[in-house]
Structure 1
Amino acid sequence: MPDRARIQFLYTGGTLGMVGSPRGLEPGADVRGEIAALLRDSGLDVSSGFSEFHRTIDSSNVTPADWQQMVDHLRRHRDEYDGFVILHGTNTLAHSAAGVSYALTDFGRPVVFTGAQVPFGMAGSDAPGNVLGAVEAVISGAFASVALFFDGVLLAGARATKVSALDMRGFASPHAEPLEWRSVSVREEPDPLARPQGWKNPLPYRGHDIAVITAVPGMSAERFRAMTTPRPSAVIFRTYGAGEGPGEEEGLPEAVGELVSGGTPVVVVSQSLRARVDLGRYAAGEFLRRAGAIGAEDMTFEAVYTKLMFLLSQGVDGQHMEKWLLTDLAGEVSAPRPAR
């Protein structure tokens, strides 16, 4: 990076920009002013720009169209800045970081998502520390990819998951170590976030109907069928442990198999925070493997959901979904086993 780094902040909304009201927290803080004062007092040698999203929203309302708006904005302003900080609500922060990661594997600029559990200006706010940490990560020169900074820790953008709405440590990366950047003054090759595959010239995100079903004791095949009628574009089945599910439930293996044979991919993720899905490890997961379901390895739920949305937007069909889902595009999966 040059001596004086040029950074743009993209404010999409979220807790860090909220103020108290009779209705509860709602948007209203002077985020631009807060950041200007923060940078002025920090002593960091940066110049900054500030842009508000096309609509500032609670992140609970973020959609794939919003991910595409972020991607388009970043590509449009790529050559004007050395890096970007995206200010985002925490509820879907990990989804957006993963979604943007898949679409920007060739971007060549650091992009750091951050947010806050407590708004600017409130006692105990973590917003100043998170914003300054994100800026320092961007100007470190240690990477040129998408990451997420929160509570002093930098995580790969497609590896993070939200683990708490109460503690300042709101995010974790269950299967990948935090990124080291503080001790790096000049970016070394290879970039710690870079992956050889990526996706060249991705098509825009489009909305697709992805059904998310959680296995619970006593669930019925009838309920599973009802939740997949009409037939969705893809199904994420949140099962137990390493991918075990209620295979003794009459009709459930057939219901999964009918979806797969009809072209709807069924992807199995674990409800456990730390797990690696292996549908051949236990007999209780074997029925899913026989039915043609895809084990999501050690990807987070956020990474799987956004990757399915990305791949469907690229026109990947059910026949080729396993190959691409298990291909590491943006650092989201650890050395996946070869597809069947």
Structure 2
Amino acid sequence: MARVYVLYTGGTIGCVANEDGALAPVPGAAFEALVLTMPGLSGHGVRGYDGLSWTMGWFDRTLDSSNMTPADWLAIARRLLSVYDEYDGFVVLHGTDSMAYSASALSFLLPGLSKPVVFGGSQVPLSFTLSDAPANLVGAIVAAGTLPVPEVCVYFDTRLLRGNRSSKVDANRFAGFDSPNFPPLATIGSVVARNELYWLPMPGEEVSLAGAENRTRRLAALEAQAAALAGFSVVMLWLYPGIRASTVSAMLTGTDPAAKGAVLLAFGEGNGPTDPEFLDALSAAVKAGVVLMDNTQVQRGAVLPGAYATGLGAVGAIGAYDMTPEASYAKLVCLLAAGLDADAVKAEMPKPLVGELTVIEG
């Protein structure tokens, strides 16, 4: 018997049209009632998978994922930890717009997973006739209940992706997510194809969340991180031709609360302008204690620190290699909220902690 806990947070999958005709997510009880009308999921089972059952939970407040904040990441992590012993796998139903951020964050907030946590959602509400929601919902539950992959994943349009390697790549097509620099962990169709070579290893006893003491420590750490979030910000800065030093300064040193980290969406392999005023603005931010991550705007490939004279490593930016911008942002937030100082964060950011990056020599 495999038991799956489904946490509904809101998002398109649970939307209906309000009196103005705009889509908004319904409360949890209403969404569960809708799911139970699906023949394959009625009775909290899954047709074709004897012994697989699911239970649904939700928060009092449902959200469009455009309204998600790091505090919501922590709330999701706490809820999953609170029921960790009772279930064999977990599904987080989430809006698609910021799903890659949340899935990335959960991978850093819940190291030591020995059970799958599968984020899922849809491009079209479950209440619509022509919708990807039924297949995505069933696929996510099946993945969480039958694939012992010990990590945070995203399930969308038949593919199970590593959460911190995923990005939303299409606003309209059902194939809304991709993992540009990493292969799928599994594909679910008429047969389930596992790509176990790429799964994270099972955690050792000293970090496994299966241990009550480790879980208690992780819960205490989450509470401390929640308290720390109000004291700093992390920003994302997209570079573009003609970007002004004053814009950079305003973004990196003019925020309230103060920026402690920034993800730079640079050109190509991590390149930026060599304009002295632009570089001075970045240098000033580094001297002020801001951790700069040198990411790329390009979906595939990697930042190669030092490959070009226009690389941003000379001003103290840390190369992100092939980390997605979403993973870089989430990792920065989680490390800074954990109380690490700038030097410690700089040391941890280019290390693969939970499979989020590939260190590339070159």
Give the Cα separation in 2 of the matches to 1:80 and 1:319: 39
Aligned position for 1:25: 23
Task: Show the 5 A alignment for 1:111-130.
Answer: 111-130=117-136
Q: For 2:75, which of 63, 69, 77 is the aligned residue?
A: 69
Q: Which has the higher strand share?
A: 2
Give the Cα separation in 2 of the matches to 1:14 and 1:67: 14
Q: Which amino acid aligns with 1:296?
A: A
Secondary structure at the residue paired with 2:273?
A: coil
The size of the alignment, in residue pairs, is: 331
Q: For 1:52, which of 39, 50, 58 is the aligned residue?
A: 58
CA shift, 1:123, in A, is 2.5
Aligned position for 1:34: 34
Q: Which has the higher helix share?
A: 2
Q: For 1:309, which of 330, 333, 342 is the aligned residue?
A: 333
Secondary structure at the residue paired with 1:311?
A: helix
CA shift, 1:322, in A, is 2.3
Give the Cα separation in 2 of the matches to 1:325 and 1:34: 42
Aligned position for 2:211: none
How big is the alpha-carbon RMSD for the aligned residues of Structure 1 and Structure 2? 2.5
Q: Does 1:194 find its partner at 2:201? A: yes
Give the Cα separation in 2 of the matches to 1:195 and 1:263: 36
Aligned position for 2:343: 319
Q: For 2:265, which of 218, 222, 238 is the aligned residue?
A: 238
Secondary structure at the residue paired with 1:66?
A: helix
Change in Cα spacing, 1:20 to 1:172, as seen in structure 2 (3 Å) is same
Is the contact made by 1:260 and 1:318 (CA closer than 8 Å) also made in structure 2? no
Give the Cα separation in 2 of the matches to 1:28 and 1:55: 10
CA shift, 1:195, in A, is 7.8
Q: Does 1:12 find its partner at 2:15? A: no
Give the Cα separation in 2 of the matches to 1:191 and 1:244: 30
Unaligned stretches of 5+ residues in structure 1:
none
Unaligned stretches of 5+ residues in structure 2:
209-213
Is the contact made by 2:187 and 2:194 (CA closer than 8 Å) also made in structure 1? no
TM-score by length of 2: 0.85
TM-score by length of 1: 0.90
Q: Does 1:259 find its partner at 2:285? A: yes
Task: Using the aligned pairs only, state the percent identity.
Answer: 37
Q: Could you report, residue by residue, the CA deviation over 1:231-260 in whole angstroms, capped at 9, with x for unpaired residues? A: 51112111100011111x231112211221
Give the Cα separation in 2 of the matches to 1:331 and 1:302: 14
Q: For 1:156, which of 144, 162, 165 is the aligned residue?
A: 162
Secondary structure at the residue paired with 1:155?
A: strand
Aligned position for 2:249: 225
Change in Cα spacing, 1:195 to 1:279, as seen in structure 2 (3 Å) is farther
CA shift, 1:144, in A, is 2.4
